[in-house]
Amino acid sequence: MKDAAPQTIYLRDYAPFDYVVDSVQLTFKLTPTATRVTSRIAFRPNPATTTRDFFLHGEQLRLIGARIDGKSIDPEITSTGLRCDVPDAPFVFEAEVEISPDTNTALEGLYMSGGMYCTQCEAEGFRKITFYPDRPDVMGVFTVRIESDLPVLLSNGNPVTSGDGWAEWHDPWPKPAYLFALVAGDLVNQPDTFTTMSGRDVDLNIWVRPGDEGKCAFGMKALKKSMKWDEDVYGREYDLDVFNIVAVDDFNMGAMENKGLNIFNSSAVLASPETSTDANFERIEAIIAHEYFHNWTGNRITCRDWFQLCLKEGLTVFRDQQFTGDMRGQAVKRINDAVVLRAHQFREDNGPLAHPVRPTSFVEINNFYTVTIYEKGAEIIGMLRRLVGPDAYEKALDLYFTRHDGDAATIEDWLKVFEDATGRDLTQFAKWYSQAGTPRVAVSEEYTDGTYTLTLRQHTPPTPGQDHKDALVIPVAVGLLNENGDEVVPTQLLELTQAEQSFTFGGLASRPIPSILRDLSAPVILEHEQTSARRAFLLAHDTDPFNKWDAGRTLAQDVLVAMVRDGATPDAAYLDGLAAVLRDDGLDPAFRALVLALPSEDDTAQALVDAGDTPDPSAIYDAHETLKLHIAQHLQDLLPRVYADMTVTAPYHPDADQAGKRTLGNGVLALLARIDGGRQAAAQYTAADNMTQQLAALATLLKAGKGAAELAKFEREWQDDRLVMDKWFGLQVSCAAPDAAVQTAQKLTDHPAFTMKNPNRFRAVFGALAGNAAGFHHPSGAGYALLADWLIKLDALNPQTTARMTAAFSTWRRYDAERQAMMRAALQRIADTPDLSRDTTEMVSRILD
């Protein structure tokens, strides 16, 4: 069978399926290379459509036989599915197919990981399991029988019955095929229970491989907190008798919200103080919450088609961000989210991969699980909430849940509940979903006779396929300070709806100092020329924690740009401001750590691009190193004191307070190493009783060109722990000096524990290489060549992970002619690979165009 040329799918072509699924019965006879899947699906003609085309998706399936109403049929089979004539009345379709989970390295459909069977069906993986209308708007009630010798057999919904070598599950909630899941393995569980708000008891389990049972307790606590929070804050109750989570080592993404049976990348659920960092704990809590929250925003209300992906992802990210803010502190959470948004989403929105939060076309939907859909999608919801206020937001969400429960919904449905709940016209606001690119908002100010006028101008640069941009509704939170740092006008929400608009504030005693875009009230770039003195003033006095931090960040960025451009010495306003924050014991350590952290080298590259320069990654690296040395010297007297103050004497706990202290302590440790040559880092490494302290010390040593002994010791200590070894692989590459990074990565691929088949391990090495800016962009081009070599190899096994990682090349246009040519050549070499996957082909061609 010849593969058809990849097709582009368009939003405008949406049409419902011609048949409705009433029920689905599946039987799996599991064997590694010849699993038999039999299906019995009750269909009836869809009364809402007039055409009658019975096409079922199916890929890489060996059809054993098919029947309609008990009679054998001989359907037409292509590389994408099956078509046949069917009665114009309800009928039962049956099929038996054979599949080979053991050779499924793409990790999509049914596959094996460490001896267990597991599935990944979102977005279009169910079609690799059996013939089915594999689209989210076709929902059915599933009953599943699993036959296998393995002791633990799981699927969606509630357990029905089981016996020796088999188990049956029934999911009463109609669901699209992408939420189907099956797991079979030799697993152990951490059991617990949760009593819901209406008093129903739910059995909770986290299933892991034997040996990992000691790493489940934190995840279980996070799950129970998430269940409670969703009841308290959104009024959402869980709706099955059991909730299962399974940890899987080989997984392309973080985790998956399959109904009642969430499947997690083991890195996103397994945790212990000895093996996980504070950042790991925080991420695990957020991902468990995210997947759990999908039960309502994604599962009970799903998406009509994949163009509406942000309907579930944007909303669920927004909900998990709220949750983490409630658990760990809103201000620090908002800053962390802003760092990610700017570093990744703004970058995506500004390059060849820019796309609207609701795209209008795609070739491979897997390529659209992006920061734009997730993070910008969440920002849009945050803006809506700001614009209508928290009470109206709650009202609109209640309406959304009652009106659309059981639906496969659209963005129009979502916006309509806000319009109906608030009476607001959201026509202009809706453009946030269709218009790509990050808006820039330029600021000018005027002050006369007690009246202050703020003029805001919005402009969105063109993006691929979208030259013209309309004005958006941009909520801009503004407060005014006087020269003493008192807030004279508390935060107000301005609504910028025109290309240019002025806002006045009267009755002022003196010229105010504005604090604009507080809490990052919109995902936009603020263009506001300010002196470093004014930024230092805001760093010292702004009452909005986000803008206080952002003033420091902008100062640091300006310093770095000046250092790269003309070798300037760091501005004293910045260094003194930093010292004042660091010294201020009244400030949360986590917040102080954020102020102390520099923008990334990639951020500096972008700042230089914005200033009209061609960034040189080597020069940027040097400037960052020089600045860190200057900071260390300037703060020399303060650092030891702060480091000592951040000592945690209580037993390790991954809560926000302790974690904040460790983050600041470790930030200070890295600076101290520039003065003491790593003496304290070596001491911390030896004394550490938790991974956070151990890993930070090791990173500091490696960056100081030391730590060879510790690195070897670390390997001996942790060689049997897969997740810790991922850190060992990654750290060496991310901490390598620019001249050594490529060679380090290359050498690690020869390590016996390196494997391409495990995405975590592959990403540990090559994600770290792409993230080591000066190493990856080494003038020799060796970084580009090495990554391309390995992506080409990986594509044959795992297209999804390969395609995602090609994004490392997406900034090629920024650089000098030599680097551009080398990056283009690497991309072209990938593009020219025979039998390149559809996923990678689409990514590379978008990046090159």
Tell me the angle at which helices 656-676 and 691-703 cross, rounded to the nearest 10 degrees: 20
Nearest approach in angstroms of CB 254 to ligand PHE is 6
Pick the stretch among 254-262, 399-407, 670-678, 779-787 that binds ligand PHE (CB under 6 A): 254-262
Fill in the DSSP letter of residue 536: H
Residue pointed to by tokens 């209508």: 388
Q: Which long-range contacts (CB under 8 A, 24 or more apart) does 639-648 make?
A: 639/668, 639/671, 639/672, 639/675, 640/672, 642/582, 642/583, 642/668, 643/668, 643/669, 643/672, 643/680, 645/585, 646/589
Q: Which does 795 bind (CB under 5 to 8 A by kind): Zn ion, ligand PHE, none?
A: none
Pick the stretch among 13-21, 115-123, 485-493, 755-763 that binds ligand PHE (CB under 6 A): 115-123
Q: Which does 122 bind (CB under 5 to 8 A by kind): ligand PHE, Zn ion, none?
A: ligand PHE
User: Which residue's CB is nearer to ligand PHE, number 379 or number 710?
Assistant: 379
User: Which residue's CB is nearer to ligand PHE, number 122 or number 588?
Assistant: 122
Q: Which does 278 bind (CB under 5 to 8 A by kind): Zn ion, ligand PHE, none?
A: none
User: Which residue's CB is nearer to Zn ion, number 299 or number 734?
Assistant: 299
Going by C-beta distance under 8 Å and a sequence separation of 6 or more, which residues neighbour residue 798? Answer: 105, 106, 107, 252, 756, 757, 759
Q: Which does 183 bind (CB under 5 to 8 A by kind): ligand PHE, Zn ion, none?
A: none
CA-wise closest residue to 267 among 760, 690, 755: 760
Over the window 347 to 386, marking each residue x when it contacts ligand PHE by CB under 6 A and - when it does not, the resulting string is ----------------------x-----------------
User: Which residue's CB is nearer to ligand PHE, number 118 or number 538?
Assistant: 118
Nearest approach in angstroms of CB 312 to ligand PHE is 8
User: Which residue's CB is nearer to ligand PHE, number 285 or number 291?
Assistant: 291
Going by C-beta distance under 8 Å and a sequence separation of 6 or more, which residues neighbour residue 13? Answer: none
Nearest approach in angstroms of CB 245 to ligand PHE is 13
Per CB under 6 A, 313 contacts ligand PHE: yes
Q: How many CB atoms lie within 10 A of CB 817?
A: 8
- Would you call 694 helix, strand, or coil by DSSP? helix
Q: Judge whether 605 and 814 are in contact, CB under 8 Å.
A: yes
User: Which residue's CB is nearer to Zn ion, number 313 or number 588?
Assistant: 313
User: Which residue's CB is nearer to Zn ion, number 316 or number 680?
Assistant: 316
Q: What is the DSSP string of 298-361?
A: TTTBEESSGGGHHHHHHHHHHHHHHHHHHHH-HHHHHHHHHHHIIIIIIHHHTSTT---SS-SE
Query: What are 710's two structure tokens?
Result: 């510790």
Q: Of all helices (H) and strands (E), which one includes residue 556?
A: helix 545-566
- Would you call 462 helix, strand, or coil by DSSP? coil
User: Which residue's CB is nearer to ligand PHE, number 313 or number 349?
Assistant: 313
Whole-angstrom CA distances from 803 to 211, 615, 827, 830, 847 are 33, 26, 12, 11, 11
Q: How far apart are CA 111 and CA 33, in angstroms?
A: 10
User: Which residue's CB is nearer to Zn ion, number 25 or number 316?
Assistant: 316
Query: What are 391's two structure tokens?
Result: 């009470």
Pick the stretch among 82-90, 253-261, 384-392, 543-551 that binds ligand PHE (CB under 6 A): 253-261
Nearest approach in angstroms of CB 253 to ligand PHE is 4
Query: What are 842's two structure tokens?
Result: 């689409």
Q: How far apart are CA 227 and CA 319, in angstroms?
A: 12
Q: What is the DSSP string of 62-103?
A: EEEEEEETTEEE--EE-SSEEE----SS-EEEEEEEEE-GGG
Nearest approach in angstroms of CB 112 to ligand PHE is 17
Per CB under 6 A, 255 contacts ligand PHE: yes
Count residues near ligand PHE (CB under 6 A): 11
Nearest approach in angstroms of CB 317 to ligand PHE is 8
Dihedral pair phi/psi, residue 646, rounded to 5°: -85, 0
Nearest approach in angstroms of CB 840 to ligand PHE is 16
Pick the stretch among 233-241, 273-281, 307-315, 777-785 that binds Zn ion (CB under 5 A): 307-315
Pick the stretch among 171-179, 207-215, 308-316, 322-330 that binds Zn ion (CB under 5 A): 308-316
Nearest approach in angstroms of CB 775 to ligand PHE is 29
Q: How far apart are CA 750 and CA 746, in angstroms?
A: 7
Fill in the DSSP letter of residue 520: G
Touching Zn ion, residues 456-485 (CB under 5 A): none
Cis upstream peptide for 421 (omega within 30°): no
Nearest approach in angstroms of CB 420 to Zn ion is 26
Per CB under 6 A, 256 contacts ligand PHE: yes
User: Which residue's CB is nearer to ligand PHE, number 43 or number 229?
Assistant: 229
Q: Judge whether 286 and 324 are in contact, CB under 8 Å.
A: yes
Over the window 123 to 142, marking each residue x when it contacts ligand PHE by CB under 6 A and - when it does not, the resulting string is x-------------------
Q: Of all helices (H) and strands (E), which one includes residue 750?
A: none
Nearest approach in angstroms of CB 321 to Zn ion is 12
Q: Among 59, 257, 282, 291, which one carries the catalytic annotation?
A: 291
Q: How far apart are CA 241 and CA 219, in angstroms?
A: 19
Q: Which does 754 bind (CB under 5 to 8 A by kind): ligand PHE, Zn ion, none?
A: none
Q: Is 285 a catalytic site residue?
A: no
User: Which residue's CB is nearer to ligand PHE, number 309 or number 430?
Assistant: 309
Helices (H), 569-616: 572-583, 589-596, 601-610
- Would you call 237 helix, strand, or coil by DSSP? coil
Q: Which does 256 bind (CB under 5 to 8 A by kind): Zn ion, ligand PHE, none?
A: ligand PHE
CA-wise closest residue to 314 among 148, 432, 152: 432
Residue pointed to by tokens 């992006």: 370
Q: Which residue is nearest to ligand PHE (CB)?
A: 253
Pick the stretch among 77-85, 116-124, 273-281, 724-732 that binds ligand PHE (CB under 6 A): 116-124
| Residue of the chain from 94, 291, 349, 519 that contacts ligand PHE (CB under 6 A) | 291
Helices (runs of H) and strands (runs of E) counted in the chain: 29, 31
Pick the stretch among 310-318, 497-505, 544-552, 821-829 that binds Zn ion (CB under 5 A): 310-318
User: Which residue's CB is nearer to Zn ion, number 156 or number 316?
Assistant: 316
Nearest approach in angstroms of CB 290 to Zn ion is 5
Q: Which does 369 bind (CB under 5 to 8 A by kind): ligand PHE, Zn ion, none?
A: ligand PHE
User: Which residue's CB is nearer to ligand PHE, number 109 or number 599?
Assistant: 109
Q: How far apart are CA 535 and CA 203, in angstroms?
A: 53
Per CB under 6 A, 120 contacts ligand PHE: yes
Pick the stretch among 67-75, 226-234, 276-284, 305-313 that binds Zn ion (CB under 5 A): 305-313
Going by C-beta distance under 8 Å and a sequence separation of 6 or more, which residues neighbour residue 771? Answer: 734
Count residues near Zn ion (CB under 5 A): 2
Nearest approach in angstroms of CB 316 to Zn ion is 5
Per CB under 6 A, 250 contacts ligand PHE: no
Nearest approach in angstroms of CB 713 to ligand PHE is 36
Q: How far apart are CA 205 and CA 200, in angstroms?
A: 16
Whole-angstrom CA distances from 576 to 498, 540, 552, 586 are 39, 10, 11, 17
Q: Would you state the torsion angle of the CA atoms of residues 552, 555, 560, 561, taken in this order, to the nearest 10 degrees?
A: 140
- Which residues are part of the catalytic machinery? 291
The footprint of Zn ion (CB under 5 A) covers 313, 316
The footprint of ligand PHE (CB under 6 A) covers 120, 122-123, 253, 255-257, 290-291, 313, 369
